[in-house]
Structure 1
Amino acid sequence: MSTPPRDKVQVGWICALPEEAAAAREMLDENFGTLKEQNGTDTNSYILGRIGNHYIAIAVLGQYGTTSATAVATNMSRTFSRSLKFGLMVGIAAGIPSPGHDIRLGDIVVSSPAGTCGGVVQYDTGKLVKDGKMERTGSLNAPPRLLLNAVLAMRSSTMTEVPKYLGYMEKAIHRNERTRKTFGRPDVSTDRLFRAECEHPATASTCEGCLPDWEQPRTAREDDEANIHYGIVASGNAVIKHAATRDQLGRETGALCFEMEAAGLMMDFPCIVVRGICDYADSHKNDTWHAYAALAAAAYAKELLDYVPSADLDTEKPVIEVCRRSSTYRVMPQE
């Protein structure tokens, strides 16, 4: 099939890393290749594709950070100004396990409103008060209602039906020898959650010498499915690699994971955040789960689009109009 015109593209899929982009491409029902013509001020590179009835533009940030995410989303809004309706921020993140959330490597976290939070909190923005505590003073937008409705419909369906994202993952993993090597699920023995006080030895390049006694006891799961968690995503420009800091910020924000781009999108770009858990934001070395976690997030995003009716999407205002008509970052009064 020939490449569709730009005005057909209604969904912007944003990712930050090569393995995230590779996972996104595996989810396309049709891949139309690179976009040949775009806005003259747009420095993004796009892969165009189709998932179900939706035409998708995939863009890769090229570097970490909320500022980079903002720039990519702004450029995307220019090139697809007539048609773009919402975005998906899809990729990997560091999990924040807690007594209330049994988060494992390879699981999926989806940004969802909780209390007064729209689903994403920028943990490194606010004002410092007594004892150096950060008082967060901003509120980021929730995902658009169309996507929240799709999430609810998907959650309801997976209570009684086998979710499709599991099949999407299997198909991508087993497509050829290279995809098996890239996206195959790591052995469960490499999913090690260490107690916060057990720091990784500074001189050790791997965790082979990290003792089993250092690990947090956890009940084995009945299967190896990627589980889904809905709640708050913590976003900021600092890489968290310290378990005690992870746990503290988790308690303060109620977040389920850390990542570095979403806050730059939620300010100016109606979207939802889907993250595969690749590590535990601690000092221990583990890059083994990156590609599998990226694939899990991409597979969830593909299934989520099944629950977005094309007719409803056609009636939505383009992203560029939504941004013009509303202030997407609401700063609460400061004392």
Structure 2
Amino acid sequence: MVSRDDYLVGWVCALPIEVAATKATLDCIHDNLPPNQNADDGNSYIFGSLQGHNVVLAYPSSGVYGKTSVAGAVAHLHTSFKSLRYILMVGIAGGVPDTKEDVRLGDVVVSKSIDGRPGVIQYDVNRERAEDQHTRAREVNQPTPLLLTTIGKAETATIFNESKMPQFISEIVRKEPVLFACPGPEQDVLFEPDYDHIASETEESGCNECNPDKIRPRKPRDIQDPVVHYGVIASGHRLIRHGATRDKLTHDQCVLCLDTEAAGLEDAAQYLVIRGICDYADSHSSKLWHAYAAVAAAAYAKEFLSLIPTVSKTIPLAANTPAEAAPVLDALLLTRPEVDRKSLIALKGRRVDGTCEWLIQHPRYQEWLSCVNPPVLWISGGPGKGKTMLAIYITEVLQPEVEAAGNVLLYYFCSNRNKNQNTALTIMRGIIHQWISLQPYLARYIKKSFDTVEIVKYTVSNFTLLWNAFLTLLRQTKSSQVICVLDGLDECEKGSLGQLLRAVGNYLSHPGEDARTRLKFILLSRPKPAILESSLGQYQRIKLDESDAGISDDVERYIFANVAELASEQNLSGEMVAQVQQALLAGADGTFLWVGFVANELEGRNWAQIKELLQCVPKGLGGIDDKEALVPILQWVVLAARPLTVDELTVAAGIRPSGTLTATQVTMSLLRLCGLLVKIEGGVVNLVHESAKEFFQSSQVNIRGISMFYVTQDAHRALMRTCLAHVERGYKTPGSVHEKSRQHPLLHYASQYWPVHFQHAEDVIDKQSEFCRPVLLV
């Protein structure tokens, strides 16, 4: 039977509509637990499971909305459920319009520290009259690393169009379509902040008596799904229903929404506040959007939980093992390699039958597999050689063999999709987390490094401490062999890559006399940077660029499989199939990269379009008239450390107005010329396919006619200089950080990511001349 200790996730609501939305969100509802012995606990509880987590929903029995009831509910929840790892505060709130985030009804706001401001602040209302209200803010503690990390994963999922929130919302609405239906954008009306509501005889008539000339015009959105915003939430003991007061608070604190629930929390480190926007915190507020806003908040919470690994309470080890492992797992969590592997398979597609299998027959692999020495096998190859698919295949082949022998397989995939996870620190956090998940009893040997918040911060930010923890696990494990497969080491930040390679090399050279467990590695990367060659050149190596590597046969199989699928979809004749196969074989140049790029573009096209596309790709860029204008745009799209908004890209690429067109409109028209390459979603510019990023950095573009699009280290240098120029302008501009960002749309990106471009361009930069800028000498 499920006990109270099995519930690790707390979920707090205040209003009945929030509770109803949560019940509809749960995957299943559990039977009630035996009554709590705590007689003072006045909460009502609902128990269930969601995304593999046992969740306890708590809400005040009294139904009183505000600071006292919610804070009391949280206190009783903690007392009655002592195993809770964190609590989600899920509900509705009043949104703050007229910010750069453009908050709308039905959107979701999630508490997050922005520009040094805490994610949740408290305000006090000191006077009775709304127009005289004065706010006094104080901050609430920051969430734990686990919650902050999961926020980052949710943001990344949205950027790469992998969010399941719209799906979750649809599933909830289908359960109660009348109650939870979206009112629609036509019901999203914003009045001028100084215009008060004109009351009518019935509440149902809404703002029918209000002056329509006072409605603030806003540009319709291209998408209808809720947008998730991350930023500051203000919480007080009274609801604000006054537009001018709302805007005053926003101007002072950059607040995105206002509620009354987080105000009474004494220690918010274990909480995340999630709010669906139901009104604009003005006198025109009504209940029309309450239900849908509650659904949107609950759907985000469901997605959030899907990104957090479950911690089993039934591991057949010592009774205290899960309790010891949980804080260590929470502190280490940044990414889950097993989930990353599934995501890569979904992104790249399943392996074509027959491909990759040559590797396990290769004599160097066989020697690595069967012998103690060599302990390292290095698989190197240029872009598009299928290294990641080989890494996935290796882990799938090794996993059953390793587990059957009672040994450990660890793996990690570096990716240019997320620069923040491409460091030696994140690699160590990923594989240690994976190891503790497989063998939780090991947590007891390193738990002292994760005792307090301050110690955790120090441990997870120090490579030496993490490496020592890894070696401790190696000494204490009951397994006789540990295998690590690390893919994409060339994507790893250069300085920390050196740390990792030195640590591995030093250990393998002097493992110690008491080393009972063998440690072996398979490392996959491009041949460069040079540190890889100097560190790994002594070990066994398979070069994918050599003719005997088996890649050419794999590419041919890959082409035939893609063309067969295309022929089935488009009913192509045998002659048509032969033409497509011949064109792809001629252009492949021994890599999967170009084939995958073109095959994706052939989908859904008729035969005439297929023939035209095969003739113009990859040299199709040569037919563009305004090549020079496209170069800076594509450089930024390909090399930016994160996807840029259209406004950011316009400023970064130095686009100017032309005739009657604004600079942003000029950028949009240029982006349309790249129809095969880029997409714009929610105002964010992305490459259509990840393979295009590698394509523009490969030698396949360095050919006559389109060589100006070949992205090199020099391009990173140019981007770094642009970033520093914007940092200088922002430094010289008076005002707060928020005000500077309004005047310089690229300032946030430039301030955070210019070092990324510097690292990539380090070999072609004269550091002395580059860094004589005044802003860098302050």
- Paired residues for 1:6-45 under 5 Å: 6-40=4-38, 41-45=40-44
| Aligned-residue offset at 1:115 | 3.4
Q: Is 1:264 matched up with 2:244?
A: no
Residues 108-144 of structure 1: per-residue CA shift (max 9 Å, x gap): 0000012343211101179xxxx985443x3311111
Contact persistence 1:107–1:296 (CA under 8 A) = yes
1:181 aligns with 178
- Residue type at the aligned position of 1:93: A
Q: Choose 34-43 or 288-297, whichever is displaced more.
A: 34-43
2:665 aligns with none
| Aligned-residue offset at 1:224 | 1.1
| Aligned-residue offset at 1:232 | 0.4
Residues 276-330 of structure 1: per-residue CA shift (max 9 Å, x gap): 000001111421100000000000001000111224995229xxxxxxx89xxxx
Contact persistence 1:207–1:285 (CA under 8 A) = no
Question: Relative contact order, CA 8 A, sep 6+: which one is greater?
Answer: 1
Contact persistence 1:16–1:60 (CA under 8 A) = yes
Contact persistence 1:142–1:266 (CA under 8 A) = no
1:192 aligns with 189
CA distance in 2, matches of 1:17, 1:64: 7
Cα gap change, 1:44 to 1:134, in 2 (>3 Å): closer
Residues 144-163 of structure 1: per-residue CA shift (max 9 Å, x gap): 11011001011112211341
CA distance in 1, matches of 2:188, 2:168: 23
CA distance in 2, matches of 1:310, 1:253: 36
- Paired residues for 1:282-293 under 5 Å: 282-293=282-293
Per the alignment, in what secondary structure is the counterpart of residue 37 of structure 1? coil
- Residue type at the aligned position of 2:154: M
Q: Is 1:251 matched up with 2:251?
A: yes
Per the alignment, in what secondary structure is the counterpart of residue 192 of structure 1? coil
Q: Choose 94-103 or 27-36, whichever is displaced more.
A: 27-36
CA distance in 2, matches of 1:125, 1:266: 19
Q: Is 1:315 matched up with 2:326?
A: yes
Contact persistence 2:109–2:275 (CA under 8 A) = yes
1:5 aligns with 3
Cα gap change, 1:215 to 1:228, in 2 (>3 Å): same
CA distance in 1, matches of 2:125, 2:99: 26
Count of aligned pairs between the two proteins = 309
| Aligned-residue offset at 1:268 | 5.5
- Paired residues for 1:79-228 under 5 Å: 79-81=80-82, 83-124=83-124, 134-136=135-137, 138-175=138-175, 179-203=176-200, 205=202, 206-228=206-228
| Aligned-residue offset at 1:269 | 6.1
CA distance in 1, matches of 2:266, 2:186: 36
Cα gap change, 1:134 to 1:258, in 2 (>3 Å): closer
| Aligned-residue offset at 1:267 | 2.8
CA distance in 2, matches of 1:220, 1:9: 43
2:75 aligns with 74
CA distance in 1, matches of 2:288, 2:46: 26
1:332 aligns with none
Contact persistence 2:110–2:274 (CA under 8 A) = yes
- Residue type at the aligned position of 2:171: K
Cα gap change, 1:132 to 1:25, in 2 (>3 Å): closer
> Greater helix share, 1 or 2?
2
Per the alignment, in what secondary structure is the counterpart of residue 216 of structure 2? coil
CA distance in 2, matches of 1:120, 1:143: 10
Q: Hey, which bits of structure 1, 4+ residues long, moved more than 6 A?
A: none
Q: Which has the larger radius of gyration?
A: 2
CA distance in 1, matches of 2:65, 2:207: 26
Cα gap change, 1:306 to 1:266, in 2 (>3 Å): farther
1:57 aligns with 56
CA distance in 1, matches of 2:159, 2:72: 38
CA distance in 2, matches of 1:215, 1:99: 17
1:329 aligns with none
Per the alignment, in what secondary structure is the counterpart of residue 316 of structure 1? helix
Cα gap change, 1:101 to 1:266, in 2 (>3 Å): farther
CA distance in 1, matches of 2:223, 2:139: 38
Cα gap change, 1:191 to 1:132, in 2 (>3 Å): closer
CA distance in 1, matches of 2:52, 2:169: 20
CA distance in 1, matches of 2:161, 2:258: 30
Residues 140-188 of structure 1: per-residue CA shift (max 9 Å, x gap): 111111011001011112211341111111011113xxx0010000032
| Aligned-residue offset at 1:254 | 1.2
Contact persistence 2:47–2:57 (CA under 8 A) = yes
Residues 49-93 of structure 1: per-residue CA shift (max 9 Å, x gap): 111221000011322222222211111111111x11110000000
Q: Is 1:46 matched up with 2:45?
A: yes
Contact persistence 1:35–1:46 (CA under 8 A) = no
- Residue type at the aligned position of 2:102: D
- Residue type at the aligned position of 2:16: P
| Aligned-residue offset at 1:209 | 2.4
TM-score, normalising length: structure 2:
0.38
Per the alignment, in what secondary structure is the counterpart of residue 98 of structure 1? coil
CA distance in 1, matches of 2:133, 2:15: 33
Tell me the percent identity.
39
CA distance in 1, matches of 2:308, 2:15: 26
Cα gap change, 1:209 to 1:87, in 2 (>3 Å): same
| Aligned-residue offset at 1:248 | 0.4
Contact persistence 1:70–1:268 (CA under 8 A) = no
Gaps in structure 2 of 5+ consecutive residues = 127-131, 312-321, 329-451, 454-778
Cα gap change, 1:134 to 1:107, in 2 (>3 Å): closer
CA distance in 2, matches of 1:68, 1:289: 23
| Aligned-residue offset at 1:204 | 5.7
CA distance in 2, matches of 1:180, 1:266: 38
CA distance in 1, matches of 2:225, 2:219: 15
Cα gap change, 1:18 to 1:277, in 2 (>3 Å): same
CA distance in 1, matches of 2:115, 2:67: 24
Cα gap change, 1:286 to 1:135, in 2 (>3 Å): closer
CA distance in 2, matches of 1:202, 1:172: 33
Per the alignment, in what secondary structure is the counterpart of residue 257 of structure 1? strand
- Residue type at the aligned position of 2:45: Y
Per the alignment, in what secondary structure is the counterpart of residue 106 of structure 2? coil
Contact persistence 2:199–2:209 (CA under 8 A) = no
CA distance in 2, matches of 1:266, 1:294: 25
CA distance in 1, matches of 2:122, 2:306: 30
CA distance in 1, matches of 2:14, 2:33: 18
CA distance in 2, matches of 1:222, 1:213: 25
| Aligned-residue offset at 1:101 | 2.2
| Aligned-residue offset at 1:36 | 2.9
| Aligned-residue offset at 1:27 | 1.3
CA distance in 2, matches of 1:58, 1:269: 19
Per the alignment, in what secondary structure is the counterpart of residue 113 of structure 2? coil
